[in-house]
A = this chain, B = another copy of it.
Amino acid sequence: MAQKNKLQFIILGLLNQQPLTGYDLTKAFDTEIGEFWQAQHSQIYPQLKRLEEQGYITHEITISGEKLEKKLYHITAIGQTLLGSWISDGTPDLTATKDEFILKLYFIQTNRDPRLKAMVQEQLQLHTDKLTHLQQRLATVFPTKASQTANYGHYLILQHALGREDYYVNWLNQTLSALPKR
With the chains together, A149 CA to B108 CA distance in Å? 11
CB contact between A109 and one of B9, B98, B126, B152 (< 8 Å): that residue: B152
Tell me the nearest residue of chain B to A122, going by C-beta. Answer: B90
A170 to chain B, nearest CB (A): 8
Instruction: Determine if A94 and B36 form an interchain contact, defined as CB atoms under 8 angstroms apart.
Output: no
Knowing A97-B97, A149-B111, say if A163 contacts B156 (CB, 8 Å).
no
Q: How many identical subunits does the complex contain?
A: 2
Residues 1-43 of A at the B interface (beta carbon under 8 Å): 4, 6, 9-10, 13, 16-17, 32-38
Instruction: Determine if A160 and B102 form an interchain contact, defined as CB atoms under 8 angstroms apart.
Output: yes
Instruction: Determine if A105 and B153 form an interchain contact, defined as CB atoms under 8 angstroms apart.
Output: yes
Knowing A6-B100, A37-B96, A156-B105, say if A171 contacts B163 (CB, 8 Å).
yes
Q: Does A54 contact B (CB under 8 A)?
A: no
Knowing A109-B153, A113-B152, say if A93 contacts B87 (CB, 8 Å).
no
Q: Does A127 contact B (CB under 8 A)?
A: yes
> Interface residues of A: mostly helix, strand, loop or mixed?
helix
With the chains together, A95 CA to B127 CA distance in Å? 12
Tell me the nearest residue of chain B to A35, going by C-beta. Answer: B96
Instruction: Determine if B94 and A107 form an interchain contact, defined as CB atoms under 8 angstroms apart.
Output: no
Count of residues in A whose CB is under 8 Å from the partner chain: 63
Q: Does A164 contact B (CB under 8 A)?
A: yes
With the chains together, A17 CA to B122 CA distance in Å? 25
Binding site for B on A (CB under 8 A): 4, 6, 9-10, 13, 16-17, 32-38, 83, 86-88, 90-111, 113, 115, 119, 122-123, 126-127, 130, 149-154, 156-157, 160, 163-164, 167-168, 171, 175
Ranked 3 nearest A-B pairs via Cβ? A108-B153, A13-B107, A111-B152
